[in-house]
Structure 1
């Protein structure tokens, strides 16, 4: 785990907003020297009662954490921390531009579900 006193050692996350080929978001979490990535067609969930589909896509280079172009913007970015991991689920907190939110990515065997947890990170 990264040293909380040194933010440069914290793993980064980025939420890219794409306009093409059709509007969607990509959630990217730094892990193992790359950005693990999921396409999230409807963006991050804002209600624990409504999970969002998350489709695993190929990892990206770390330089992609700051990449933008005419069809892609950064919707949010910051750092993330792992709370819990099992073979089929991991729980993490995104520390983004508007605060911290706790999510779970759940492997369904085909795709993933992105879930906003009821229990949120303390302010």
Structure 2
């Protein structure tokens, strides 16, 4: 069960967070509310005022939102450099529209949607995801690179997030199907 860890960390009688029980029409509702054409996967960044402010990057893969906590925010320009992105548990697709208060306990604090849109995978392996975002704030190619070195390697959950250097010759790879 892909959402086992997500559900284990939450008491749904106390939180308004989505439980992960998707209705048949939910994906269509998301596509309409976010004006998502065709079957492009969802991209969302949520600003999370928990113990410390961070941003949750979420990308739709295989029916769930793969998630990373990014303490210093999403780099909008290449000059913004590399950002630590800590992989967290998968979240249900319904979380793409969640904004509100998470009660005391795991992840307590205010959550609001900072950016949303769609994305396309350019290249993907176990240690690297190159993707193109089409959001309201973030646009362009990004890289998530698993940090398999030094102190970052210990947890196995640390990644680096950065803007992909723009190809001046416009010879970028065509996007792959997600999955």
**TM-score normalised by length of structure 2:** 0.60
Identify which range, 73-82 or 106-115, moves more after superposition.
Answer: 106-115
CA RMSD, aligned part only?
1.8
Equivalent position to 2:60, from 23, 30, 35: 30
Q: Name the structure where helix makes up a greater proportion of residues.
A: 2
- Provide the secondary structure at the position in 2 that maps to 1:7: coil
Unaligned runs of 5+ in 2: 1-35, 102-109, 171-179
Q: Does 1:58 align with 2:89?
A: yes
1:1-123 to 2 correspondence within 5 Å?
7-49=37-79, 50-70=81-101, 71-98=110-137, 100-109=139-148, 110=153, 111-119=158-166
- In 2, Cα distance between the equivalents of 1:98 and 1:46? 8
**Structure 1 residues 31 and 113: CA distance shift in structure 2, 3 A:** same
- Provide the secondary structure at the position in 2 that maps to 1:80: strand
2:31 is matched with which residue?
Answer: none
Q: CA deviation at 1:87?
A: 2.6
What does the per-residue CA deviation read over 1:66-94, in whole Å, with 9 as the maximum and x for residues that have no partner? 00004011000000100011332110011
Q: Name the structure where strand makes up a greater proportion of residues.
A: 1
Equivalent pair of 2:130/2:141 in contact (CA under 8 Å): yes
- Larger-Rg structure: 2
Unaligned runs of 5+ in 1: 1-5
Q: How many aligned residue pairs are there?
A: 116
Q: CA deviation at 1:99?
A: 5.9
Superposition misfits of 4+ residues, deviation over 3 angstroms: none
**TM-score normalised by length of structure 1:** 0.86
Q: CA deviation at 1:45?
A: 1.5
